[in-house]
């Protein structure tokens, strides 16, 4: 892990940028931001856990291109930068076809790294806080190796992303490829899928429908929630650093909340009389999760700006239109 600070690249020259998984929740926000910055953006997505509707507002823009493509197969394009986000990120989707999830993490990374090597492109991996597993260190720093079950139902994603990080650093060492690795903590906001099984979208959709909010376990487990606009700023800042900064770098909001606290905040925003319904805790579900973002603050001058209450209001407003 490189810890030396590097100035962010702020070239005004437009780049041709590939975003894999660009029709997904985070990918669509990243694509829009890159277009707003004046870049040409090619999105490659197989729409397994995403939707074209996330990109409807971008259709027809001359600098935007959409390609249906599965990253487990090679892609032959010419690009300057690659944001590699392609992979189902919610348990419902990545556990539906766990073999394909692992192939997406491993084969997909090999294919995108090969593309970056051929074109000389800088490449960023959207890794995950799940590489820390059920952590025995709190908060989680980038030098913590994690506590991951290698044969559990979440392993296809947890170990898949760990293998992807390995591949990125092997390409960096063996081929001097300019890489960036971001470890993304829980992110939320507009364009999340209503049925993706993530806790924020679950709670908001259930509350809007007047259904019980499903709390797993006793609700004392914690998460840290980063609004998607802040996360996108962090990804772009990391990509803009010099070649001596590789990461991994934690990107997330260090504010820590229990599931019960999150449920109370949602119920305060959506007063439909919903109650709480407790269900058994899923296997290997982490009990505590909070990023140490000291490295991101030092290297990227990045700190999340949007507090949970404000971000939840924006998310609720979005789902009011989607759910009705």
Catalytic center residues: 157
**Six token digits for residue 265:** 């905040």
70 and 51 Cβ atoms separated by less than 8 Å: no
123 and 112 Cβ atoms separated by less than 8 Å: yes
**Six token digits for residue 109:** 């990374």
Which residues, 6 or more positions from 111, have their beta carbon under 8 angstroms from its beta carbon?
A: 71, 72, 73, 74, 75
17 and 40 Cβ atoms separated by less than 8 Å: yes
Task: Using only the alpha carbons of the chain, give its radius of gyration.
Answer: 19
Backbone angles phi, psi at 215, to 5 degrees: -110, 125
299 and 249 Cβ atoms separated by less than 8 Å: yes
- Choose among 37, 30, 81: nearest CA to 55: 30
181 and 245 Cβ atoms separated by less than 8 Å: no
The answer to whether the Cα torsion of 11, 16, 18, 24 is positive or negative is: positive
- Choose among 252, 246, 219, 220: nearest CA to 233: 252
**Six token digits for residue 294:** 């000291």
**Six token digits for residue 113:** 């790294």
Decide: residue 67, CB within 10 A, 0-12 exposed, 13-18 middle, 19+ buried.
middle
């Amino acid at each position: 892990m490189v810890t030396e600070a590097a100035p962010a690249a702020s070239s005004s020259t437009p780049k041709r940028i590939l975003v894999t998984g660009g029709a997904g929740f985070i990918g669509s926000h990243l694509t829009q931001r890159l277009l707003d910055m004046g870049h040409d953006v090619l999105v490659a997505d197989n729409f397994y856990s995403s939707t074209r509707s996330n990109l409807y507002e971008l259709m027809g823009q001359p600098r935007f291109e959409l390609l249906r493509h599965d990253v487990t197969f090679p892609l032959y394009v010419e690009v300057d930068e690659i944001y590699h986000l392609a992979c189902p990120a919610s348990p419902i989707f990545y556990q539906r076809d766990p073999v394909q999830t692992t192939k997406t993490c491993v084969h997909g990374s090999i294919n995108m790294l090969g593309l970056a090597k051929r074109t000389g492109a800088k490449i960023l991996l959207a890794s995950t806080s799940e590489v820390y597993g059920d952590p025995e260190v709190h908060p989680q720093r980038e030098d913590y190796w994690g506590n991951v079950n290698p044969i559990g139902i979440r392993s296809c994603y947890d170990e898949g992303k760990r293998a992807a990080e390995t591949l990125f650093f092997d390409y960096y060492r063996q081929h001097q490829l300019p890489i960036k690795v971001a470890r993304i903590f829980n992110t939320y906001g507009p364009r999340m899928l209503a049925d993706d099984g993530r806790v924020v979208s679950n709670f908001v959709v259930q509350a809007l429908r007047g259904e019980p909010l499903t709390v797993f376990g006793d609700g004392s487990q914690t998460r840290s929630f980063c609004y998607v606009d802040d996360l996108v700023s962090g990804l772009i800042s990391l990509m803009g650093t010099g070649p001596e900064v590789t990461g991994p770098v934690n990107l997330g909001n260090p504010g820590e909340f229990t599931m019960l606290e999150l449920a109370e905040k949602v119920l305060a925003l959506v007063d439909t009389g919903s109650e709480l319904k407790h269900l058994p805790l899923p296997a290997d579900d982490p009990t505590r999760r909070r990023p140490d973002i000291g490295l991101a603050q030092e290297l990227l001058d990045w700190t999340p700006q949007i507090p949970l209450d404000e971000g939840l209001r924006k998310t609720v407003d979005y789902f009011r239109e989607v759910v009705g």
